[in-house]
């Protein structure tokens, strides 16, 4: 029988220290992964962003403190893995590169998105070097013939030039996967590469946006024609809601692509929202499990599932804003929505939920979009704009949601004392969402979980 080609992705917590790395490597070995995609060690991307900001805005001494913290953390892992000086050399080169880039930002007092992407890329480049070693340590201990080989993801993961949120160019990636990775199907080599990062056609480093390693892994799984994509994290699969929000949350054994996509898009951090696009496109089943406790099993995300409950899971998306655009010109006229969407399109901002009345439209967005000052002023050119912040978007994810009598009553009965700012129902069979005050998010999720899922 043909051996299944498995791509395994390990997140930041699975890269936390040398023990985490070895534990993750054992999981990869047991699963017979052929391509391993890793995130930066936990907290490092945040440290790199802080370093960039500090280099831009503060003293060089303060930037050096963060540089040192990053260096010490990674050198400790290298020491714990008993890496030889020659093997540590590439790490030192990355520290030097990081210092030079930070110096540049400091001197220019300017940290563009382009510079920030190059700086952030150091996190995954460091962790993947360390993990390649951890993998080889585990392979040697298991007396395997296979060998882990480091691959620069930027040699295959070509993107457009939207720094900070670059889009992978799938055709180019498929060709480069053939060129660089087809050997993995008939050799003992296990490739280890970086999630999150890519390169433009003209060689500039990009990133796919926070949490983007899941997406990288899916894109590469598609590129090499993998049979299975595994996402290994710190929880045993996708749960009925974020276990950090609700202690009754429990793992889901199976979920459909459509439901999981809604869950990821509407705030469940467990998967980057774009992860399932390539998996759906190429029908690659996705498994989500814990690298800390792989024996607990996890969740299969696939096209068809056996049971289709009305409410499978719920998500909370914090720090949302509601933008309401009003103009009497909308009365009996057309083209208003076109004008609005054009502005959002020009600014490359995606809208999550939307409702309209005769003369107004309300849209929900991440509050980070307000950093883009000209978006609101461009909208103000043709409508009165009201921005409300400190909101959260609550979503119930399931099946047949828009055709089930009494669902809304059950939802709102359980939160009857809470002000609901906006409701969005009807467009999807799989999603019912509404907005509330940010601070009420955990309480609302707990009450809804009790009503629809229970203990």
Give 213 or 440: the residue with its C-beta nearer to ligand ASP.
Answer: 213
Q: How many residues bind ligand ASP (CB under 6 A)?
A: 12
| Stated length of the chain | 455
What is the bridge-based pairing of β-strands 360-366 and 298-302?
unpaired
Side by side, the strands of the sheet bearing 228-233 are 147-150, 189-194, 35-38, 6-10, 228-233, 286-290, 298-302, 254-256
Q: Which of 111, 122, 123, 159 binds ligand ASP (CB under 6 A)?
A: 123
Q: Is 248 in the site for ligand ADP (CB under 6 A)?
A: no
Task: Give the nearest residue (CB) to ligand ASP.
Answer: 213
Give 12 or 223: the residue with its C-beta nearer to ligand ADP.
Answer: 12
Task: For residue 273, give both structure tokens.
Answer: 């929202």
Q: Which of 111, 151, 197, 268 binds ligand ADP (CB under 6 A)?
A: 268
Four-point Cα dihedral 58, 61, 62, 66, nearest 10: 130
**Window 194-213: residues binding ligand ADP (CB under 6 A):** 211
Q: Is 395 in the site for ligand ADP (CB under 6 A)?
A: no
Segment contacting ligand ASP by CB under 6 A, of 65-73, 179-187, 210-218, 380-388: 210-218
Q: Which of 57, 76, 140, 244 binds ligand ADP (CB under 6 A)?
A: 244
Q: Is 16 in the site for ligand ASP (CB under 6 A)?
A: no
Shortest distance (Å) from residue 14 CB to ligand ADP:
6
Site map 20..59 versus ligand ADP, x via CB under 6 A: -------------------x--------------------
Residues 6+ apart with CB under 8 A from 173: 156, 157, 158, 219, 220, 222, 223
Give 270 or 415: the residue with its C-beta nearer to Mg ion.
Answer: 270
Q: Which of 195, 198, 278, 398 binds ligand ASP (CB under 6 A)?
A: 195
**Window 44-63: residues binding ligand ASP (CB under 6 A):** 45
Q: How many helices (H) and strands (E) does the chain have?
A: 13, 17
The DSSP code sequence of 151-167 is: --GGGT-EE-S-TTSPP
Q: Which of 16, 195, 198, 211 binds Mg ion (CB under 5 A)?
A: 211
Q: Is 39 in the site for ligand ASP (CB under 6 A)?
A: yes
Q: Which of 56, 242, 262, 352 binds ligand ADP (CB under 6 A)?
A: 242
Q: Which of 53, 114, 167, 269 binds ligand ADP (CB under 6 A)?
A: 269
Q: What share of the chain is helix, strand, coil (3-state, %, to 5)?
A: 45, 20, 30
Looking up tokens 């705030």 gives 267
> Which does residue 241 touch among Mg ion, ligand ASP, ligand ADP, none (CB within 5 to 8 A, set by kind)?
ligand ADP
- Classify residue 399 by its DSSP letter: S
Task: Give the nearest residue (CB) to ligand ADP.
Answer: 11
* Cβ contact 45:209 at 8 Å: no
User: How far apart are the C-alpha atoms of 383 and 325, rounded to whole Å?
Assistant: 6
* Cβ contact 325:384 at 8 Å: yes
For CA atoms 431, 303, 221, 299, the dihedral sign is positive
Q: Which residues bind ligand ASP (CB under 6 A)?
A: 11-12, 39-40, 45, 123, 195-196, 210-213
Q: Which residues bind ligand ADP (CB under 6 A)?
A: 11-14, 39, 211, 233-235, 238-239, 241-244, 268-270, 313
């Amino acid at each position: 029988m043909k051996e299944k080609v498995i791509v395994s992705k390990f997140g930041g917590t699975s890269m936390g220290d040398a023990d985490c790395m070895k534990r993750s490597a054992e999981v990869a070995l047991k699963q017979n992964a052929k391509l391993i995609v890793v995130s930066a060690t936990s907290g490092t991307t945040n440290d790199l962003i802080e370093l960039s900001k500090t280099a831009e805005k503060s003293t060089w001494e303060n930037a050096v403190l963060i540089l040192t913290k990053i260096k010490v953390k990674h050198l400790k892992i290298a020491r714990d893995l008993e890496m030889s000086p020659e093997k540590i050399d590439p790490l030192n080169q990355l520290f030097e590169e990081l210092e030079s880039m930070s110096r540049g930002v400091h001197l220019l007092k300017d940290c563009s998105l382009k510079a920030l992407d190059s700086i952030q890329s150091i996190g995954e480049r460091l962790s993947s070097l360390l993990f390649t070693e951890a993998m080889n340590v585990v392979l040697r201990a298991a007396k395997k013939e296979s060998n882990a080989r480091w691959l620069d993801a930027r040699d295959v993961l070509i993107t457009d030039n939207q720094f900070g949120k670059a889009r992978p160019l799938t055709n180019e990636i498929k060709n480069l996967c053939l060129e660089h990775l087809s050997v993995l199907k008939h050799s003992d080599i296990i490739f280890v590469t970086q999630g999150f990062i890519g390169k433009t056609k003209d060689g500039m480093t990009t990133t796919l946006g926070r949490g983007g390693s899941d997406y990288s892994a899916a894109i590469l799984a598609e590129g090499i024609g993998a049979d299975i994509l595994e996402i290994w994290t710190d929880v045993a699969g996708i749960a009925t809601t974020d276990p950090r929000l609700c202690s009754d949350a429990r793992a889901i054994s199976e979920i459909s692509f459509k439901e999981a996509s809604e869950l990821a898009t509407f705030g469940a951090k467990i998967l980057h929202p774009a992860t399932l696009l390539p998996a759906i496109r190429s029908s690659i089943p996705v498994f989500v499990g814990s690298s800390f406790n792989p024996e607990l099993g996890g969740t299969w995300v696939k096209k068809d599932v056996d049971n289709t409950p009305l409410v499978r899971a719920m998500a909370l998306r914090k720090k949302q804003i509601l933008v309401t655009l009003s103009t009497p010109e909308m009365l009996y006229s057309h083209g208003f929505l076109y004008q609005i969407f054009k502005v959002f399109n020009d600014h490359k901002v995606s809208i999550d939920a939307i409702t309209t009345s005769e003369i107004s439209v309300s849209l929900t967005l991440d509050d980070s979009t307000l950093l883009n000052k000209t978006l609101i002023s461009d909208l103000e050119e043709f409508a009165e704009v009201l921005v409300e912040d400190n909101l959260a978007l609550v979503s119930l994810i399931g099946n047949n949601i828009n055709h089930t009598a009494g669902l809304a009553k059950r939802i709102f009965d359980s939160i009857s004392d809470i002000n609901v700012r906006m409701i969005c129902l009807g467009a999807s069979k799989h999603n019912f969402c509404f907005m509330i005050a940010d601070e009420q998010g955990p309480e609302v999720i707990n009450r809804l979980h009790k009503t629809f899922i229970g203990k």
